[in-house]
A and B are shown apart, each in its own frame.
Chain A
Amino acid sequence: MTSGIRVVQKGTTVDNAADFQVEFDSRWPLLEIYDEINVDVSMMPTAFQNFQVVSPHTLGFPPIYEWIPDETIPRFYTIASMSADYSGRILVTDKNIMATVEETFTATPGTYGAGPVRMKGVIRIYRNSPFNQFVSETLQPVAASAPADKTQGFKALRPGQRGNAMGDTEGSEFGVNTNFKSLGIHVVNHTQVGANIDFSASPPSSAFVLSIAHKSGYKPLYWSFELTFWGKTQNFPGAGSTWDGTYVDSVSFDPIIHGQVSLERYQSRAYADTVTISLDGVQSVLLGDFVTFIFHDPLQVAI
């Protein structure tokens, strides 16, 4: 290690510490929150579609995000319901983030429900690009673990937390706390699957879509997404829109493994061993752009 910050357990040398002995290592990127945006978009079902530019950003790439629905409004009216007749969508470009609700193109406007259809919640935007391939430096996994020494390390509170005790164990107050563990990023993989792949074989043992190498030494944690691109030629967000006009292809992220939508849509799953993650599914055709984040397991538990 030639630059950055590394914190290891007491009694361990910085250069030789195994993963589980490392409390913080700036060579391992984290999912870092860039912004959290409150969204409340609604439409009457008499309108074909509606959209709203939520926020500009200055990241220079379409960032990954999570959607956190507000449960205080009836569930049918949130994006979480994802009914067949209405859907909510979040689109990101290298400049903007947009949330929208719409009727499906096959629906007759005004047919379904009394409305309004409403999408309310928070978009959590991470300062991480899905397009930059990344593999962290060689790891040093070992078979056995040892208790951490909590008498050393460092902590930093997030803004607005002044006055809270540093010994607080809640966690949400800290931007960094080496007495806790965090999800360090080991691999960011972006792959375009350019050909139809037949998953109908049963069992589909030879039908892997992606085989992503890792050096965890154990079956790692991961997030995997399918990216859907929406370009100028797409009938979205629709003629006459005022979407900022830059129109670099916008991207939405459908969690294909991480979330129930994927399981219902693709019946996808992952196989893993100590060196690869393989994604596959049982739909007859599956192609597109896939992004996978592989994380360091906070406890490096091999199962």
Chain B
Amino acid sequence: MRSGVAIYDQVNGQQEEIFGSDKGHFLVDLDYVPNRFNVVEVTPTDLTSSNGTVVEEVLVDVKHGLLYVPRVIVFFYVKSGEFLVGQFFQPTGSYTSDTYFWSSGAGPQDTLYHTVDDTHFKVIHRYVEPSSTPSTSSSNLRTFDIKYLIGSLKGPIVRFPNS
């Protein structure tokens, strides 16, 4: 026996349930401190790397306060600093979710990515120069708005892609 609120509507000529309060939905608490929903402006720094050394800096660190690993949605917006790396053009105003690569392949890898576990949500800037010649990220020339939502649903532990 179900309990709660259910809403039905005519969909394609048939009566269909369109909402059930006994089902899970992605909800966000807007009042919790520290914020589970926020927009953070960040300017990554000019990290230097060589010989495949992974150099990272934490840009956002939120102790989410949930008793489980939450489902997180993250968007990266290029707020200023248009740039062209190879064929991957990133104009101001473009945005993507989860992970932001702006160089990859054989050359240096410059990435914004996020992690989440049962205590923290983090956004991390990662720079790796695979060759023996040191190089420096030009990330300090760009400003990002990072929008994140730490939801009520349980989600996967997230680490650097394929790590």
- What residues make up the interface of A, taking CB atoms closer than 8 Å to B? 3-5, 26, 29-34, 67-69, 71, 75, 80-82, 121, 124, 127, 148, 150, 154, 156-159, 169-172, 174-177, 179-183, 199-200, 202-205, 219, 221-222, 257-260, 263-264, 267, 269-273, 282, 298-299, 301, 303
Within 8 A of A (CB), among B1-25: 2-5, 7, 9, 18-25
Contacts of A176 in B (CB 8 A): 4-5, 19, 21, 25
Closest 4 CB pairs of A and B: A171-B152, A203-B89, A260-B161, A156-B21
Can you list 6 residue pairs at the A/B interface with Cβ under 8 Å?
A: A4-B7, A26-B18, A71-B156, A183-B25, A200-B87, A257-B96
In the complex, are the beta carbons of A301 and B147 less than 8 A apart?
Answer: yes
Alpha-carbon gap, A259 to B71, bound state (A): 13
- What residues make up the interface of B, taking CB atoms closer than 8 Å to A? 2-5, 7, 9, 18-32, 37, 39, 66-68, 73, 75, 77, 79, 84, 86-91, 93-99, 101, 104, 113, 145, 147, 149, 151-157, 161-163
In the complex, are the beta carbons of B152 and A172 less than 8 A apart?
Answer: yes
Alpha-carbon gap, A80 to B152, bound state (A): 22
Alpha-carbon gap, A31 to B155, bound state (A): 14
Contacts of A272 in B (CB 8 A): 93-95
- Quote the shortest CB–CB distance from B119 to chain A (angstroms): 14
- Quote the shortest CB–CB distance from A198 to chain B (angstroms): 11
Contacts of A269 in B (CB 8 A): 90, 94-96
Alpha-carbon gap, A154 to B4, bound state (A): 11
In the complex, are the beta carbons of A298 and B25 less than 8 A apart?
Answer: no
Q: Give 9 new A-B contacts, CB below 8 A, not counting A4-B7, A179-B31, A221-B73.
A: A4-B9, A5-B19, A29-B19, A68-B155, A176-B19, A180-B28, A203-B84, A260-B99, A269-B90
Alpha-carbon gap, A174 to B152, bound state (A): 9
Alpha-carbon gap, A157 to B23, bound state (A): 9
With contact pairs A263-B96, A282-B88 given, residues A177 and B27 touching in the complex (Cβ less than 8 Å)? yes
Contacts of A32 in B (CB 8 A): 19-20, 23-25
Contacts of B32 in A (CB 8 A): 169
In the complex, are the beta carbons of B28 and A298 less than 8 A apart?
Answer: yes
Of the candidates A26, A172, A203, the one whose C-beta lies within 8 Å of that of B19 is: A26
Of the candidates A181, A219, A258, the one whose C-beta lies within 8 Å of that of B30 is: A181
- Quote the shortest CB–CB distance from A51 to chain B (angstroms): 22
In the complex, are the beta carbons of A29 and B18 less than 8 A apart?
Answer: yes
> From B82, which residue of chain A is reached at the shortest CB distance?
A203
In the complex, are the beta carbons of B7 and A182 less than 8 A apart?
Answer: no
In the complex, are the beta carbons of B22 and A159 less than 8 A apart?
Answer: yes
In the complex, are the beta carbons of A170 and B66 less than 8 A apart?
Answer: yes
Alpha-carbon gap, A93 to B20, bound state (A): 23
Contacts of A204 in B (CB 8 A): 87, 89
